[in-house]
Amino acid sequence: MKNDKEQTIDWSILRYDRWQLYVAKTEKGLCYIGSPGQTYEELESWLQKRFPNARLIENEKALTPYLKELQEYFEGTRQTFSLPTDVKGTPFQEEIWAALNQIPYGKTCSYSDIAQIIQRPAAVRAVGTAIGANPVLITVPCHRVIGKNGKITGYRGGTEMKQYLLHLEAETKV
């Protein structure tokens, strides 16, 4: 039997420094952190593709615990996230995102390192594509993946944000 029940996704905006990021959650957990400069229409389009029966509701109160943890991260007082996520992807994407969560705060690894972790050393490009599809920037730390040569590579949040996050972690790691 088909489930046509409409789902509610709460959203709010995290404002930090010069960035404004859309943040959204389902009843199960955080499902999305947007990119700097993103519009509401882009948020809506992204979520409709992944949650076609969802209704977006602006609800800062529901997002407060998530916004608080993200703010603490940006302030350098939080290194791990404790709240649940609700990320949807292919089995391969979800395997990659789980591998990203194994990268310690303040450390980096390469795309080929991730391919080795999942025991698919030839899948480096597919790893990069899966990393690029990560719906929850920062909390699933795709910013910790850099080129094999140590260079900053692409990031859905932009290379400026990636450099900022890596610098933040390098400065505050214990």
pLDDT in tens, 93-139: 999 999 999 999 999 999 999 999 999 999 999 999 999 999 999 99
pTM: 0.90
- Spatial CA neighbour of 109 closest among 138, 146, 141, 80: 146
Q: What domains can you pick out in the chain, each with its CATH number?
A: 7-74 (3.30.160.70), 91-172 (1.10.10.10)
d(CA 15, CA 52): 27
In angstroms, how far is CA 73 from the centroid of its own chain? Answer: 13
Rounded Cα gap, residues 155 and 161, in angstroms: 8
What residues are annotated to the active site?
Answer: 142
How does pLDDT run across 27-69, given as a tens digit for each residue?
A: 999 999 999 999 999 999 988 898 998 999 999 999 999 999 9
| Among candidate residues 118, 168, 119, the one with its CA nearest the CA of residue 141 | 168
